[in-house]
Amino acid sequence: MLKTILSSLLPALMTCHVLGQQAYQTLFESSQGKETPEYSEVIAYFDRLARDFDPIQIREVGMTDAGLPLHLVIVDPWKDFDPSVWHSKGRVVLFVNNGIHPGEPDGIDASMMLVRDLALGKKRLPANTVVALIPVYNIGGHLNRGSFSRVNQNGPEAYGFRANARNYDLNRDFIKADTRNAQSFQEIFHWLQPQIFIDTHVSNGADYQHVMTLISTQHNRLGGPLAPYLEERLEPQLYALMEEAGYPLVPYVNAWNGAPEDGWPQFKDSGRYSSGYAALFGCLSFMPETHMLKPYNDRVMSTYALFESFFEVIERDGELINRLYRQQREWLRSRKEVAINHQLDRGKFKYIDFKGYRSAYKPSEVSGFPRLYYDRNQPFSTQVKFFNTYIAGLTITLPKAYLIPQGWHQVIENLARNGVRMERFEKDTAMEVVVYRLEEFNTVPNAYEGHYLHSDVQHSSQVVRQTFRKGDVIVPTDQPAARYLAEVLEPQGEDSFFAWNFFDTILQAKEGYSAYVFEDLAADYLRDHPALKAQLEEAKEADPGFAQDGSAQLRWVYERSPWKEKEHNRYPVFRLE
């Protein structure tokens, strides 16, 4: 009897499902995979889903450079909509960021369909899981809509622009946070504390058969309990599931200086990138990159399939992921040393499957010179070398705390947005600390994302007795943000605040001398300090050019005298050992 009742109800249920699907059809679907919606249409779509389905919420969560608020969509079957409740109940939080480069909108359309299908019951969330997603991160870029900025890309018909409203590439802004977008993102990320983060993209580069490539955060750089899980269990499952779905994965084809069949190194996602930033806080992070030359419909559906594959992994491993995430946070908190500036180990590699097209050269119809092309009539499958081992370029021994004078408020505000626990001196206090003096560094000649990056930093260290004022900041390192602190506060870090010019005012001397005045002072000072006088004579003997340069000798004395301002080239973040 029950079977008869269910059989009679099934056509009606299927009809309701189809009608629901049609009622919430996306522009991508109605255009047969050729179009992606405008920004207002994306937000209106999620607004409608949130109105019609209680487990879905959309909220404004900060401002962007476009003058419009960032939105966060949450799918929570328990309707708590509170990360503190989620984490207290051991739930997995999957966080998706879409539209960081709005010319690459695949994730926007895939997410619209995914949330719709979850609402209608066509898809089911993994057990004990919540999804949070940013529908469009780069709103300014999405509003700057056209059809020509992605010359390498096959659809959609119209799309947004890579840069944001202030011409920033937001996927270089996660550490420096010049933009309101990044500042809002930091607050969202630390409010959610996700175990898994996905930032959707479209690739550039070589031509090959794969629709989807994947950047997993670099496992050596991630470190801790999550690193072996990522490489040995999560990734193999993900690759197998995508193979079953008809979209065989390959690591992001980072082959810029040769043919893909010659192999390539894993992309190193330092902290300026979304996935590298997330990994600093113990989050399993990924940047899927669909292939630019594949039809837009295929790219979006492969992104949808990737979301489904992550669901399956979480269904299998959710409890394990949660446990390892907690262990990772404790591992980060208890670190005494932190590895930074990871470098590729070219002696280690593994073989991976790759489906490519034969490449060759033919005369250019533009210049007549040889030009590269890929022959899609000559597909091949082979195994290639994938160099995915990185080693520490520098190991930092963490102090008990970093001490920051309150005047460096931009740095302190950045730390606060990133969930860093800080204290304030309650009264003026003198203590012994280690201070760095910057000796050498290189600076790029051209602007990069609004900055002139420093690198190859060399510094000296000395113990000094320093007085800190009431209100200056103490940053203990026994906290889960310890890895982040080392990356941004140690000046040698490749994405440190020093590298990004936060402290450039210390690089310019604010006082000097008139030679005719300082000559007499210098002579008196050398008479009163015979050891320094002896050092000057040794320097002249060692360098004939210096011996013949009176101005250089006077400068030498000034640099070693009490008249030289101590702030010049003195790094203003102190270490309490």
| Three-state SS at 524 | helix
Residues 457-470 have a mean pLDDT of: 98
Residues 329-344 have a mean pLDDT of: 98
**pLDDT exceeds 70 at position 5:** no
Tell whether 58 and 202 lie within a shared domain. yes
Residues 54-68 have a mean pLDDT of: 99
Of the three residues 333, 352, 370, the one that is the final residue of a domain is 333
Q: Is residue 369 in some structural domain?
A: no
CA distance 176 to 450: 10
Q: String of b and e for 446-462 (b: at least 16 CB within 10 Å)?
A: eeebbbebbeebebeee
Q: Where are the alpha helices (DSSP H) in 387-491?
A: 409-417, 482-489
> Residue 483, by phi and psi: left (phi above 0), alpha (psi -120 to 50) or beta?
alpha
Share of the chain above pLDDT 70, in %: 96
Mean pLDDT of the chain: 96
Q: How many helices (H) and strands (E) does the chain have?
A: 18, 22
Of the three residues 298, 333, 368, the one that is the final residue of a domain is 333
**pLDDT exceeds 80 at position 7:** no
Total structural domains in the chain?
A: 2
**pLDDT exceeds 70 at position 449:** yes
Q: What is the pLDDT of residues 275-325, one digit of tens each?
A: 999 999 999 999 999 999 999 999 999 999 999 999 999 999 999 999 999
Tell whether 323 and 412 lie within a shared domain. no
Token reading at 512? 């000097």
pLDDT band at 4 (very low <50, low <70, confident <90, very high): very low
Token reading at 555? 């400068």
Residues 435-459 have a mean pLDDT of: 98
Please tell me the least confidently modeled range out of 13-22, 103-112, 411-420, 487-496. 13-22
CA distance 185 to 274: 10
Tell whether 238 and 106 lie within a shared domain. yes
Residues 34-44 have a mean pLDDT of: 99
Q: Is residue 352 in some structural domain?
A: no
Residue 156: is the preceding peptide bond cis (ω within 30°)?
A: yes
**pLDDT exceeds 80 at position 1:** no
State the pLDDT at residue 18: 56
Tell whether 317 and 405 lie within a shared domain. no
**pLDDT exceeds 80 at position 10:** no
Q: What is the pLDDT of residues 178-196, one digit of tens each?
A: 999 999 999 999 999 999 9
Pairing mode, if any, of strands 212-216 and 337-340? Answer: unpaired
Q: Identify any residues that bridge with 436 across adjacent strands, giving them in sequence order.
A: 461
Q: What is the pLDDT of residues 530-544, one digit of tens each?
A: 999 999 999 999 999
pLDDT band at 19 (very low <50, low <70, confident <90, very high): low
**pLDDT exceeds 80 at position 123:** yes
Backbone torsions φ then ψ of 60, nearest 5 degrees = -85, 135
Of the three residues 281, 313, 333, the one that is the final residue of a domain is 333
Q: Is residue 305 in some structural domain?
A: yes
Q: What is the pLDDT of residues 223-265, one digit of tens each?
A: 999 999 999 999 999 999 999 999 999 999 999 777 899 999 9
Q: Is residue 29 in some structural domain?
A: no
Tell whether 189 and 84 lie within a shared domain. yes
State the pLDDT at residue 2: 36
Backbone torsions φ then ψ of 65, nearest 5 degrees = -65, -15
pLDDT band at 440 (very low <50, low <70, confident <90, very high): very high
Q: Is residue 388 in some structural domain?
A: no
State the pLDDT at residue 258: 78
State the pLDDT at residue 20: 67
Q: Is residue 416 in some structural domain?
A: yes
Q: What CATH number has the domain bearing residue 175?
A: 3.40.630.10
Tell whether 406 and 274 lie within a shared domain. no
Supply the DSSP string of 270-283, one letter for each residue: -TTSHHHHHHTTT-
CA distance 71 to 133: 9
Q: Is residue 378 in some structural domain?
A: no
Q: What is the pLDDT of residues 517-534, one digit of tens each?
A: 999 999 999 999 999 999
Tell whether 280 and 427 lie within a shared domain. no
Closest to 522 measured CA to CA, from 477, 564, 566, 487? 564
Tell whether 121 and 236 lie within a shared domain. yes
Q: What is the pLDDT of residues 152-181, one digit of tens each?
A: 999 999 999 999 999 999 999 999 999 999
Tell whether 83 and 217 lie within a shared domain. yes
CA distances from 356 to 85, 250, 308 (A): 47, 11, 25
Q: Is residue 46 in some structural domain?
A: no
Which helix (H) or strand (E) segment holds residue 164: the answer is: none
Q: What angle do CA 116, 119, 121 make, to 5 degrees?
A: 110
Tell whether 296 and 417 lie within a shared domain. no
């740095």: which residue's tokens? 411
Tell whether 328 and 411 lie within a shared domain. no
Tell whether 176 and 261 lie within a shared domain. yes
**pLDDT exceeds 50 at position 13:** no
The residue segments making up the domain with residue 71 are 54-333
State the pLDDT at residue 204: 87
Do 207 and 374 form a contact (C-beta atoms < 8 A)?
yes
CA distance 83 to 52: 23
Do 198 and 273 form a contact (C-beta atoms < 8 A)?
no
